[in-house]
Structure 1
Amino acid sequence: MARAADCFAKRVSGLTMRPMRQSQLFTKTRRDAPKDEVAKNAQLLIRGGFIHKEMAGVYSFLPLGLRVLNNIVQVIREEMNAIGGQEVALTALQSPEPWTKTGRWRDDVIDVWFKTKLKNGGELGLATTHEEPLSAVMAEYIHSYKDLPKYVYQFQTKFRNELRAKSGIIRAREFLMKDLYSFNRDEKEFRAFYETCAAAYKKIFERVWIGEKTVRTFASGGVFSKYSDEFQCISPAGEDTVYMHEEKGIAVNKEAYTDEVLADLGLDADELAEKRAIEVGNIFPLGTRFSEALGLRFKDETGQTAPVVMGSYGIGPGRVMGAVVEVLSDEKGSVWPREISPFAVHLVALPGGNAEVAREADRLYEL
């Protein structure tokens, strides 16, 4: 075992972190994970002292786990800033007003709300997503075509009353989400940014070492559009089923798998392999649904008023962390890519009783 003078050296990354002596770390490794924890990612993270399970689908991040999570956030932040994103922090508590205007306050439309009654008789909800509140904010600042385009993102805790929460930190009831929203003049401008963001997502997954396992996946657009895109990390631990074309590196989500979709993509069903996958990101065309409902309009060059064209782009840092564990772990435990590992170096003084070695270890620690 490492002696008290042993330390973790600080990471080499965009984050500045002080080194830490292992003897100061309050967490310890565990022989076993909780008996009710079935997901490999949560089992390994709990045993390693990275996270603590509060209840089904709810996890606290401990010092090592928080360092990993923050490093993933930093990777995402750097790539979002590189494509012109502006970071904000919106509230988790949500008023019914903007959501009622879009029809999404109703539980039969969004069935994962956590809501509460106020003492004055009003009602609040914990945000599941942020299209409505950000659209309302942007309506105060966007008035002319000269105000566009704009790209706004945040890292915010989301709350979803999920029916199933058995995949560790891959599907949780409380989790951190990066959501970016684009605001464009027209469909052409929107589509160009949509592909720019897709390329940024590819860079993110490559930087955390799951790029080779992650494929852009054709998916249903739900109520927003005919189609959307998911980024699915191929893994037996995944909750989704996709049909993947190995050579082309694209896939179709089972929920969107139809003859029409295959024809649109130029794919032959016989060339596709069925895979299990973890959804680590998604990008959605939103059209003008939210801008029309919430008064987000602008005047174009001719003086005509038009609704802003929007898009939504999500990545869950915790879900990415879980996918990294599922895909990269081995028989000895979790394997962390250098860019997101809690520390870059573990400095060990051996032999432990040698004073000269201990002094040199301390000197290196203080560098």
Structure 2
Amino acid sequence: MKLSKLVGDRFKERPANCQIDSHALMVRGGYIKNVANGIYSQFPPMKRISQKIEAIIRDEMDKIDGQEVLFPVALPGSLWEESGRYESVGSELLRFTDRTGSKMVLGMTHEEASVQLVREYANSYAKYPFMIYQIQTKFRDEARPRAGLIRVREFTMKDAYSFHTSQEDLEQYYHKCYDAYCRIFARCGIPEVAVVKSDSGMMGGNISHEYMLLTPAGEDSIAICPECGYSANVEAAESIVENENKLPKEELKEVPTPHAGTIEELCDFLKIPAENTAKAVVYQRNEDDTFVVAFIRGDLDINEAKLTKVVGCDIHPADIVDDSVLTAGFIGPVGISDKVTVFFDSSLKGIDYLVTGANKVDTHYTGFNVERDCGDVEYYDLAKIAEGGICPQCGKKTITISRGIEVGNIFQLGTKYSKAMNFTYTDENGETQYPIMGCYGIGVGRMAASICEVRHDDFGPIWPITIAPWQVHICCLRSDDEECKAYADNLYETLQNKGIEVIYDDRKARPGAMFADADLLGVPVRVVVSPRNMGEGVVEISTRDKSIQQKTPTADAVTEVENIIAQLKEQIYSHVK
């Protein structure tokens, strides 16, 4: 490809609306262009990167007996009604009606479609196990798209679905996919991806893992124990606390607390630690706006994902108006309205003395004791794990919190979808059973952007050789010099004939502009042809990461380029297990 013909511009200035480096570099470098909020078109460099990622994914999926299929983007709403998700999934699911008035959705995930495809075929135990996968466009009506391709509304994703006749068989295959994903990320140049336990969310199922690329630009928080290697998304990590009874038991007493509607104000007014307060965190069910109140120790935060799972439906932060059954800032479990669903976090268990709201303006209870004043209540793990918290695996207070980007996920779905959609098979005893399912996803564009986020410098991306848009970038610094141009043209043709992917800057541009564009394109190997080099009988060969910078005789340039490409590939594959 000659750069003079490459569609898309590159420019120096950082776009004002780009929050993270990868977004800015991909816009500046002519990779993507915004079409609408969270929707992008791809220029040739980005499309080439995507195709290479997809090829790696296909290779690894085929190696574990995956069979590629293709599901529609637009799906009948009746399929999602079968699974129960047409109503249960929130506004992220884009619903519409076609010209006949039939309900339709744009697929944000394809569990329903996978079941619909195979439920007639897979009616006998003899057909199992099997896995199908696709690489397809999806649409999620994300409320807050951000960070370029990291969080978008329309995206390309590889999603796979496996079908089994036993939990044991699912677990064996799940482990194969687990390892295949590790190989995919290593082959794409990010072997440092961490695998963490996660919350299954709307996907359902009991066991799930996320593949997290740790970076400060990440939108997910990961709990990590450096002592034992434990790692989990904070949404799924168990919160373990040790309660110390620093204050003795007292009778429940109503006290005035003027203008103390927050935990900080209350603690300052009563001169008590936050650990001796019971904080009320209020949500409403999406389906009917009824109130859900979670009581938690005042120094901790509610984990909304955990609470959503306990409530059993989607929730949102409450809007408490003046005529509400709740008194904002002074909510407590004693005397709370029976129209409110109440949950207690396990952090309150065993504390003798707490201060909590009295459900009256400017009033709290002191001496509150959950077991004495509320009876035999059920406790739940509803808190976010915190920095310095207790590791659920080794029990040490060593938890650290890091940021990360989710680049892949795998789920053990069980029979959630097969039961809901009446998908059955006949086992070897002639009895009817529900297939057990697994689900495995990777976002292609998100992975490319994530790699750019952790593989770049101030000047542009540093693409791994396995996914770079081209392998070699030739810069002919004087295309008006006959000797330079003849050599560069010949080098371009020779490398291409050897199957090497080359971008050739043949423009009449200043060297500074050429090198700036080369940095933005991030091609791993750069060859500079100039009159001075020609006079010395050499070309300059360097790698984008600056690990190699050398002058090579013109006669040896092709061989040396091949050797460097081989070295870069070997570095990548040394991490593939």
| Common topology (TM > 0.5) | yes
Aligned counterparts of 2:452 and 2:114: Cα–Cα separation in 1: 33
- What does residue 32 of structure 2 align with? 51
- Higher relative CO (Cα under 8 Å, sequence separation at least 6) belongs to 1
Q: Which residue of structure 2 aligns with residue 144 of structure 1?
A: 124
Name which of structure 1's ranges 86-95 and 113-122 shifts more when overlaid on structure 2. Answer: 113-122
Deviations 1:120-160 (A, max 9, x none): 22221110100001101110210111101110000111111
Contact 1:215 1:250 in 2 (8 A): no
Is residue 126–residue 158 contact of structure 1 (8 Å, CA) maintained in 2? Answer: yes
Give the Å deviation of 1:119. Answer: 2.0
User: What is the aligned partner in structure 2 of residue 318 from structure 1?
Assistant: 445
Q: 1:267 aligns with which of 389, 394, 411?
A: 394
Distance apart, 1:31 and its partner CA = 1.8
Count of residue pairs the alignment pairs up: 346
Aligned match for 1:168, one of 143, 148, 163: 148
Matched, 1:302 2:434: no
CA distance, structure 1, for counterparts of residue 234 and residue 127 of structure 2: 40
Q: Could you say if the C-alpha distance between residues 133 and 21 of structure 1 is closer, same or farther in structure 2, counting changes exceeding 3 Å? A: same
Do the aligned residues in 1 keep the contact of 2:239 with 2:392 (CA within 8 Å)? Answer: no
Summarize the Cα distance change of 1:250–1:59 in structure 2 as closer, same or farther, 3 Å threshold. Answer: farther
Conservation of the 8 A alpha-carbon contact between 1:216 and 1:250? no
Match of 2:455 among 318, 328, 336: 328
Please state how far the C-alpha of 1:38 moved relative to its aligned partner.
1.6
Tell whether the 8 Å contact from 2:189 to 2:466 is kept in structure 1 after alignment: no
2:198 is the alignment partner of 1:219? yes
Question: Compared with structure 1, are the counterparts of its residues 32 and 55 closer, same or farther at alpha carbon in structure 2 (3 Å cutoff)?
Answer: farther
Q: Could you tell me how far apart the structure 2 residues matched to 1:64 and 1:132 are?
A: 34
Q: Which residue of 2 aligns with 1:287?
A: 414
SS at 2:440's partner residue?
strand
Query: Aligned with 1:356: secondary structure?
Result: helix
Provide Cα deviations, 1:281-338, integer angstroms capped at 9, x if missing partner.
1101110111122232222222222111001100001111111011111112111000
CA RMSD of aligned residues (A): 1.9
TM-aligned CA distance change 1:350 to 1:168, over 3 Å: closer
Secondary structure of 2:79's counterpart equals helix
Give the partner amino acid of 1:165: P
* Inter-partner Cα distance in structure 1 for 2:31 and 2:219: 23
Equivalent runs, 1:1-367 vs 2, <5 Å: 20-106=1-87, 108-212=88-192, 214-222=193-201, 224-246=204-226, 249-259=229-239, 266-366=393-493, 367=497
| 1:7 corresponds to | none
Post-superposition offset of 1:174: 0.4
Question: 1:6-49, CA deviations, whole angstroms, 9 ceiling, x for partnerless residues?
Answer: xxxxxxxxxxxxxx111111212112243222232111100000
Conserved in 1, the CA contact under 8 Å of 2:238 and 2:392?
Answer: no
Q: Is the 8 A contact 2:391 2:398 kept in 1?
A: no
- How far the C-alpha of 1:257 sits from its partner, in A, is 1.9
User: CA distance change for structure 1 residues 269 and 321 in 2, over 3 Å: closer, same or farther?
Assistant: farther
The answer as to whether partners of 1:215 and 1:249 remain within 8 angstroms in 2 is no
Deviation at 1:350, TM superposition (A): 4.6
On the 8 A contact 2:230/2:391 being kept in 1, the answer is no
Tell me by how many angstroms 1:354 deviates: 3.1
Aligned mates of 2:230, 2:211 — CA distance in 1? 10
Q: What TM-score, normalized to structure 2? A: 0.58
Q: Residues 26, 225 of structure 1: CA spacing in aligned structure 2 closer, same or farther, 3 A cutoff?
A: closer
Q: Structure 1 residues 294-303 or 280-289, which shifts more?
A: 294-303
Offset of 1:83 from its aligned partner?
0.7
**Deviations 1:347-367 (CA, angstroms, capped at 9, x unpaired):** 233543332332232223232
> 1:361/1:250 Cα in 2 relative to 1: closer, same or farther (>3 Å)?
farther
Q: Closer, same or farther in 2 for the Cα pair 1:154/1:122, shift >3 Å?
A: same
Unaligned runs of 5+ in 2: 241-380, 498-577
* Separation in structure 1 between the aligned mates of residue 391 and residue 169 of structure 2, nearest angstrom: 22
Q: With structure 1 as the length reference, what TM-score do the two structures score?
A: 0.89
Q: Read off the aligned partner of 1:218 and give its amino acid letter.
A: K
| Preserved contact between residue 230 and residue 279 of structure 1 (Cα < 8 Å) | yes
Residues of 1 paired with 2:230 and 2:481: CA distance?
A: 57
1:131–1:77 distance in 2 versus 1, CA, 3 Å: same
Query: Partners of 1:75 and 1:315 in 2: how far apart?
Result: 12
- Aligned AA for 1:185? T
Distance (Å, rounded) in 2 between the aligned partners of 1:25 and 1:279: 32
For residues 200 and 206 of structure 1, what CA distance do their matches in structure 2 show?
A: 10
